Structures are given as C-alpha cells and as structure tokens.
Amino acid sequence: MSAETSTTVAAPTPDHLAEEFEALFGYRPLGSFRAPGRVNVIGEHTDYNLGFVLPIAIDRAVYVAIGQRPEGSSEGRGEDDVVGTGTVEPPRGGESIRIVSDHRDETGQRLSGQFTAAELVPGTLPGWLSHAAGVVDEIAKTTGTIVGGVDLYIESTVPVGAGLSSSHALEVAVLIALDEVFDLGLDDREKVLLTQRAENDFVGAPTGIVDQAASIMTEAGHALFLDCRDLSARQIPFDLDAEGLRLLVIDSKVSHSHSESGYGARRKTCEESAALFGVDSLRELADDVDLSELTEEQRKRVRHVIAENARVRATVELLEDNERSTGGDHDARIRAIGDLLVASHESLAHDYEVSCVELDVAVTAAMGAGALGARMIGGGFGGSGIALIHADQVDEVGAAVTAAFAEHGFREPDIFAVSAGRGAARFD
C-alpha cells in the first residue's frame, strides 16, 4: 500500500534546475517557473458547458528553467549540441526552441526535441512536445510575437497520465516562462484562454478550461470557484489540515486520452442538446427544465450537467458556511460535502457514463472503509479518483482500496494525499 501521510513530494530547487540546464545547454538560465497540476473537488464536465467548477491546485507541479541563447550563438554548446540527449537535430539559426525533459524514453534517453515557431504544424510533434509547441503557436497568433532562440529544461512532480493535468501544467509553465522572457504582458485570463486554445487547436483535444484556470488562478489554501462563462472567480478557503481532513488521490493506473476518448462525443451531445433548447450552452437551462423531448442519451447527459452545477454551488455554500461559523453544524456540513462527492460520482458513472470499473471499485472501497466522500475526477475513462477522509483514515482507506484492486486483479493503484497549493508563478 503506497498511501503517503505526507502531502509533499520532493520538488526540485531553483539551483538544481539551473545546474541541470547549464549542464545541458552550456549557459546559465534566466530563471525558472512552476505550474501546478490540479484536482477538481467537484464540477466535472461542466466547464465546456459554461457552468461551475471547484478545483484546487495541488502541491505537485511542472518546473521549467528557461534561458535565452546569446545573439548569434553557436557559442559553447549553445546551439548545436545538447548534452546527454542524442536526439536533438542541429538547429536553424537562432530561431529554434529547444526543450529537454527529465523524463526518459524506453532507451533511457531524456525526452527532447526542438522546433521553430514559424514551422509549426499540428499533429507533427510527439504528444508531450505538442503541448509546448501549441503554446508557442498561440503566442504568435495572439500577440504576434515569434518566440525563438530559447532553451527550456523541464522537470515534473505531477504523475503523467494520472488525470492530474500534467500536460496542462506543462502548457502553463511554458507560457508563464515565455510571457516573462518575451515581455508579453498577458494577464491571468488571457493566459487561461491562450493555453486552452493551444490544447484545442494545436494538440487537438476539445477540452474545457478548468485545468488551466486551476493552475493559473488558484491561491494556496483555497479552491477556485470559477464561473466558466465569464471566468469570474472566488477563492474559497480549503484548508484540509485545519479541518482535520485529508484528500487522497487514487491513481487507477488506467490510462485515458481526451483526444481519443468519448470526451469529444460527450461534448457534442451537450452542444446539440443546448441547440435543441435554443440556448448557447447547457448553463442557460433552469434546474427544473423539462427534458422529456430529448433522447434518452441527451437526457442523461443534460441531467448530469444541470445537477453537477447545483452540486458545485452547494459545496461552495457549505465550505463558506463552515468558514464563517464553528458551531455544531460543522461536521454535518463536512459530511454533506462528502455526500455531494458521491452523488457526483454516481451521476458521472450512470448519467454521463465516463467512469470505469476501476474508479467505481475505488469509490466503493473508499466509502466502505469510512471515507466521507469519494468520486472519479477529470475527463474519465481512467485516470484518478479522490477520497475525502479524516486525517487518521489515510492508512485504512488506502489499504482498503489497494486490497479491492488486488481482489479484482487490477494494477496496484498509487494513492497519495494532496493539499491545496499555490497557482503558477516564477519559482526563484
């Protein structure tokens, strides 16, 4: 059983990132930047329906060290030799963007690549690199700035493929690094929208806005109550320690992919359903709207979205009530939040049909072991679930979920606690 009572994993230091960068590229970086992954507490598949979400930025992040190659440099190892990767092609003048990650391929080589802003074509770069390239492409389209002549070194403590938004965090980390170095002057809202367009138009995943917003806009110790229609937001105190609570992430180890999964199909059904009502998005529908004219499939999807928006609002109200008062209803409100998480899972499993057997087993096992609430998170079809528990239940709930996975013959899940960390920023 791998549940950790600590919420922290060893994060790299700015000095470490600078040393690695210098060893790779032969000169000192300008600085480093950090963008966290996210856990959405509640509000799933509501973002692209312009509804409500309530994510936290987690205490795991993507780190980017960035340097600007000196004018005309092939100097030193600046342009033509990235030490230790073996896969970087000779660059074209000073326009290339070179990226090296500490993640390694099957042969033990660090992942690396390079491209120039002027030559970017969607679908031609490996998945991880396309997230960075999409940002560069969108910067050119949005601001007219052609980014080039820079090197980036990347490390990450966000597990890849666990549904914790490692790829969105990469986009955000690259964007805030380039924003500072090229003096783009983008505000938070522009950063959120730019990274979303990079994801939609360049990477080709029709995702919403919650993950980028969580990484960019969230304050430490808070969840972000975001209205996805106009990006207005409220920071909601979310101090698990003070409440004697923990939020466990249960990584099912079932891989998921938004561009290939049923994610796009769900989104399309929602848009078609909204059109049938003559509204721009499902957000515009009243909670008690008559759904009888819809097909069975449309009815289920719309029912989820309407109910999930209401659950987000109810969760926010409970959290704010708890913040305001320490009276006797406190524990009841925490239990009510747990119930809302379970209701969200049921709705995602049965109405939205995006869960999978592993996440259903995780939720059942966590609840059976006394969790206050549990649910799948993210797009679904794999990835992670969460369990809201009392601080002293970490081992018990972790062991119960691990045992249930073993009984079903599933891969051993990775289970760890997270807390509400700070949003993306310069790291040194």
331: left (phi over 0), alpha (psi -120 to 50) or beta: alpha
According to CB under 6 A, which one of 24, 158, 178, 210 is a site residue for ligand GAF?
210
For every residue of 166-203, DSSP letters joined together read HHHHHHHHHHHHHHHHTT----HHHHHHHHHHIIIIII
Given the complex with ligand GAF, which of 180 and 353 has the nearer CB atom? 353
Helices (runs of H) and strands (runs of E) counted in the chain: 11, 12
Given the complex with ligand GAF, which of 94 and 379 has the nearer CB atom? 379
Footprint of ligand GAF on 220-259 (CB under 6 A): 258
Q: Does 44 bind ligand GAF (CB under 6 A)?
A: yes
According to CB under 6 A, which one of 113, 148, 379, 413 is a site residue for ligand GAF?
379
Given the complex with ligand GAF, which of 207 and 419 has the nearer CB atom? 207
According to CB under 6 A, which one of 112, 116, 130, 207 is a site residue for ligand GAF?
207
Q: Which stretch binds ligand GAF (CB under 6 A): 41-49, 60-68, 233-241, 368-376?
A: 41-49
Could you tell me which of 383, 296, 389 has the C-alpha nearest to residue 335?
A: 389
Q: Does 194 bind ligand GAF (CB under 6 A)?
A: no
101: enclosing H helix or E strand:
strand 96-104
Q: Does 48 bind ligand GAF (CB under 6 A)?
A: yes
According to CB under 6 A, which one of 134, 208, 413, 421 is a site residue for ligand GAF?
208
Positive or negative, the CA dihedral 156, 161, 163, 166 is positive
Q: Which stretch binds ligand GAF (CB under 6 A): 45-53, 125-133, 231-239, 282-290?
A: 45-53
Q: Determine phi and psi for 321, rounding to 5 degrees.
A: -65, -40
Q: Which stretch binds ligand GAF (CB under 6 A): 44-52, 92-100, 242-250, 299-307?
A: 44-52
63-90 exposure pattern, b = at least 16 Cβ within 10 A, e = fewer: bbbbbbbeeebeeebbbeebeebeebee
Q: Determine phi and psi for 2, rounding to 5 degrees.
A: -115, 25
According to CB under 6 A, which one of 36, 37, 159, 378 is a site residue for ligand GAF?
378
Q: How far is the CB of 212 from ligand GAF (least distance, A)?
A: 8
Q: How far is the CB of 267 from ligand GAF (least distance, A)?
A: 8
DSSP character for 393? G
Q: Does 171 bind ligand GAF (CB under 6 A)?
A: no
The residue behind tokens 């659950």 is 311
Q: How far is the CB of 359 from ligand GAF (least distance, A)?
A: 13
Tokens of 55: 């994510």
Q: Yes or no: say if 376 and 348 are a contact pair by the CB < 8 Å rule.
A: yes
Q: Which stretch binds ligand GAF (CB under 6 A): 10-18, 21-29, 106-114, 206-214?
A: 206-214
Q: Yes or no: say if 387 and 404 are a contact pair by the CB < 8 Å rule.
A: no
Q: How far is the CB of 258 from ligand GAF (least distance, A)?
A: 6
- The CA distance from 298 to 303, in Å, is 8
Positive or negative, the CA dihedral 37, 43, 48, 51 is negative
Q: How far is the CB of 147 from ligand GAF (least distance, A)?
A: 24
Determine whether 321 is an active site residue: no
161: enclosing H helix or E strand:
none
108: left (phi over 0), alpha (psi -120 to 50) or beta: left
Footprint of ligand GAF on 254-273 (CB under 6 A): 258
Q: Does 304 bind ligand GAF (CB under 6 A)?
A: no
Number of residues near ligand GAF (by CB under 6 A)? 11
According to CB under 6 A, which one of 138, 155, 179, 211 is a site residue for ligand GAF?
211
Q: How far is the CB of 383 from ligand GAF (least distance, A)?
A: 8
Beta carbons within 10 angstroms of residue 94's beta carbon: 18
Q: Which stretch binds ligand GAF (CB under 6 A): 87-95, 178-186, 208-216, 273-281?
A: 208-216
Q: Of the listed 211, 280, 360, 392, which one is catalytic?
A: 211
Given the complex with ligand GAF, which of 152 and 305 has the nearer CB atom? 305
Could you tell me which of 4, 18, 133, 10 has the C-alpha nearest to residue 65?
A: 18
What are the residue numbers of the active site?
Answer: 211
Footprint of ligand GAF on this chain (CB under 6 A)?
A: 44-45, 47-48, 207-208, 210-211, 258, 378-379
